[in-house]
Amino acid sequence: MLDAIYRAARGRIGALAAGLGDHQLRTPVPATPGWTVHHVLAHLVGGAADVLAGRLDGAPGDSWTARHVAERRRRPVEELLDEWQRAAPAVEASLPERHTGPNLAADAICHEADLHEALGLARTDREHWQPFLAAMGHFPGRRLRDTATLVITDELDRQWRCGSGESVMELRADGYELLRGLFSRRSRRQIAGWDWSPAPPAELVDGFGAFGPRDDDQPIPVG
């Protein structure tokens, strides 16, 4: 499953990138401070190339991703996409059948949405990211344990129960926004502003995203 998700995401991102002008490629990406659209592409390609080469020391940390950008900073998009195509079969072969943790399929889905938000495009289609929301919806429960129970409901009435405590909190939110929050792509203020009952404690808001909290509000695309 994840190999097909990755292959399709690579195709969509490649088609998007191939049509961008120099100004768009230099557009800052709010979700990845300090990076432009070109830098995000360089990281996606670099991650695939590293899987092909077995060069995974430091993955998925900041030094690993920064090297992807540094090594490809001046390379044109056409070269990046060619390198990605050559490396992609190795990535697809390395992916587990199901979403079990960090992997390059999740990375591609996350960064595809980053690019759409940076470029002012509509949100990515639900069919592309729904498997990751289904798998990650229980993630906030790691902060609750037996102190409370959080019931999360999206706009399609899909539900996730997190934690096992007697006190119950409820959260109703759009599925796309939930996933972006779970990927640490929404700020503390944005997450706290969702439809919670009662209001969430600061520890839950801080621990909602897989990659830690952030304070910079992120652009919210048109549905």
DSSP letters along 5-48, please? HHHHHHHHHHHHHHT--HHHHT-B-TTSTT-BHHHHHHHHHHHH
Q: Which amino acid is at 181?
A: G
Q: What is the pLDDT of residue 156?
A: 97
Tell me 145's DSSP state.
T
What are the tokens at 145? 């344990």
Band (101; pLDDT cuts 50, 70, 90): low
Q: What tokens appear for 139 in the block?
A: 């993630």
Give the CATH architecture of domain 2-119: Up-down Bundle (1.20)
The answer to whether the CB of 194 falls within 8 A of the CB of 169 is no
What are the residue ranges spanned by the domains of the chain? Answer: 2-119, 136-207
Rounded to two decimals, what is the model's pTM? 0.94
pLDDT grade for 148, boundaries at 50, 70 and 90 = confident
Taking residue 54's Cβ as centre, other Cβ atoms within 10 Å add up to 8
Instruction: Convert the pLDDT of each residue in 26-72 to its tens digit.
Output: 999 999 999 999 999 999 999 999 999 888 887 778 889 999 999 99
Domain covering 136-207 in this structure, CATH number: 3.30.1050
